[in-house]
Amino acid sequence: MDGNGRVARLMSHAMLLDTLNSGGVWSVARGLARNVGEYKRFLANCDLPRRNDLDGRGTLSEEALAEWTRFFLTVCIDQVNFMESLFQPDRLRIRILLWAEEEIRLGELPPKSTNILERQARRIVSALLEKGVLVSDSSRSPLRLTFPAALASRWMPGLFPDQP
């Protein structure tokens, strides 16, 4: 009701989460946090009174709202570019396959997990579900690849700073 920035972030996050179907891996909040000074300034400017007759029809500045929108979309694009650089979509499959091969060598996944074969699918899918790499809403729903936080540093190097 009060035009609070948290509401704007929550609504933006919810809408982008639904639209992008990213499973929560991507969030504009990181970009806003990296630009917190500009974020607060643009958001505060949205509460400024209309500057002149060309600045919208209501009591608040439409120009300031347009500037905020431009800033917000620029941050969104920056974060999409950042995530793309982490995911490296052209190399993601290779990183996942290398991880699976290592897990097979360690005995953590059944042999040939990288090739889901028809007669072994149930056993292999169960192991991948247990590892959190695949998810499904029910036993009859489609399987979806997920990005477990425990594997983020392996699958998307540079997403999180190294721990001391």
pLDDT on residue 102: 93
Q: Do 94 and 68 share a structural domain?
A: no
3-state secondary structure of 135: strand
Where is 30: in which H helix or E strand?
Answer: helix 29-34
Amino acid identity of 105?
Answer: R
Structural domain including 35 reads 5-87
Q: Is 120 exposed, middle or buried (0-12, 13-18, 19+ CB in 10 A)?
A: middle
Q: Which residues of the chain have pLDDT under 50?
A: 1
| Domain count for the chain | 2
Evaluate whether 45 touches 5 at the Cβ level (below 8 Å). no
How much is the pLDDT for 114? 82
In terms of Cα–Cα distance, which of 92, 83, 96 is closest to 23? 83
Distance of CA 148 to the CA centre of its chain: 12
Residue finishing a domain among 63, 87, 111: 87
